[in-house]
Structure 1
Amino acid sequence: MKNFGLLLLGIILGALAMYYYCFNNKVKMTSEPITSVTPKGLITPKEAKVLDAAYSFRHKIISDSLFSNTTTGDNRSSWWSLEDIQNYIKHAENQAGELGYIMDGLRVYLGAYPDAKGETGLTTMFFIPTGYNNTSEGSMMPLRGGSGDISGGDGLNMGESGKPPGANYPQ
């Protein structure tokens, strides 16, 4: 009976210790501030305005010569929802693996829709996944050939244009 009492006491103390441990970890996890890593190339809104203003001259030349007959003017920006971007990144990573690549980034291209039905095709922007061949299997030293476009990888287009399409930063 004495051993049974010690066993029961041990179980109760163990349960209390486990409860205390779990409760404290939950409190710590929710009370700690969320930290983020500052990405390379981060610019301030002031710097973004300088870049946008510097592009305005080029945009005016393009718009005046190619888009003078359009009702909306040419696009200066594209917008994608955060959900679409996150879903695209997951899709591109999976597809890269299937194609034998390791995805390490995204490249943004400027493009233009073809002229159709008498309308001039407007500028668009699209993402293409970048990465390198997964050739490091069984190797001690992985060889990276650089971050080229992933051949055969799907791109992401169809972002919404600015409102209006020719609007400057910020919108």
Structure 2
Amino acid sequence: MKKLIYIIFGFIIGAVLTYYFCPRPSDDIQAMETKIIKPKGVISVNDAIALNNNWTNERKKANDSAAKKFGRNKDNRSTWWSIDDIENYLAYAKHKSDSLGYTMTGIQIYLGVYGKNAGQKKKNLTTMFIAPTGDKSVSKGSMSPFNSTVRLGGNPPVPPLNNGSGGSGNFPQ
């Protein structure tokens, strides 16, 4: 009978130690279950095709004629970045904004034109670049236990993301 008590006691101690020292599968499952939220502004593929066709009808001729002034047949109409580049840039911009005392609130995508000194491949072509937007955070001194932060205007001075590759042209039909 005494040996049986030691065996049961050993099982209980083993179970308790296993509970505290082994990873719990619920943590892994919870980490994998990221909630996917559809962003505001997502449009249908048909709407994107219509927007692309409208651009082609209304802007392509003017852009390509401007490119012809610089010896090109046509100008860029899209820019491509890899998912890794986008995710890495967003993490970089958030971190850099925070370290500069800003709260990053979004991004803006700008059109630009490479100058005449950009090298033969990019010379005078249209490009796009991504820049973070945000507010300067200023903490207000107070006796209140609540953290009060004032947001001042102005975008964070974080280097923008450029150097995507020229896109394939028309939006896939």
Q: TM-score, normalised by structure 1?
A: 0.75
- The question of whether the paired residues in 2 share the 8 Å contact of 1:111 and 1:125 is answered with yes
Q: Which residue number in structure 2 is paired with residue 60 of structure 1?
A: 61
1:43 matches 2:43: yes
Q: Which amino acid aligns with 2:80?
A: W
Using the alignment, how far apart are the partners of 2:116 and 2:98 within structure 1?
A: 36
Superposition map of 1:83-102 within 5 A? 83-102=84-103
Residue 149 of structure 1 corresponds to 155
1:123 counterpart residue number: 126
Match of 2:90, SS state, is: helix
The alpha carbon displacement at 1:97 in A equals 2.0
Deviation at 1:52, TM superposition (A): 0.9
Fraction of identical pairs, as percent: 32
What corresponds to 2:171 in structure 1?
Answer: 169
Question: Which residue pairs with 1:78 in the alignment?
Answer: 79
Give the match's secondary structure for 1:84.
helix
Higher RCO (Cα < 8 Å, 6 or more apart): 1
Q: Secondary structure at the residue paired with 1:49?
A: helix
Q: Distance in 2 between matches of 1:145 and 1:161?
A: 36
CA distance in 1, matches of 2:19, 2:170: 60
Deviation for aligned residue 1:95 = 1.6
Q: Aligned partners of 2:140 and 2:85: how far apart in 1?
A: 32
Aligned length: 162
Corresponding residue for residue 132 of structure 1: 135
Counterpart residue type for residue 150 of structure 2: L
Name the CA shift for 1:162/1:37 in 2 (closer, same or farther; >3 Å): same
Write the deviation string for residues 77-127 of structure 1: whole angstroms up to 9, x where unpaired: 000111111221222122212222111211100010112489960100000
Q: CA deviation at 1:8?
A: 2.7
The answer to whether structure 1 residue 158 and structure 2 residue 168 are counterparts is no
Partner of 2:114: 113
Amino acid at match of 1:37: I
Contact 2:93/2:158 (8 A) holds in 1: yes
* Bigger mean CA deviation after superposition, 44-53 or 86-95: 86-95
Name the CA distance, whole Å, in 2 between partners of 1:127 and 1:73: 23
8 Å CA contact retained: 1:93, 1:103: yes
Matched residues in 2 for 1:15 and 1:91: separation? 41
Distance 2:34 2:103 in 1: 29
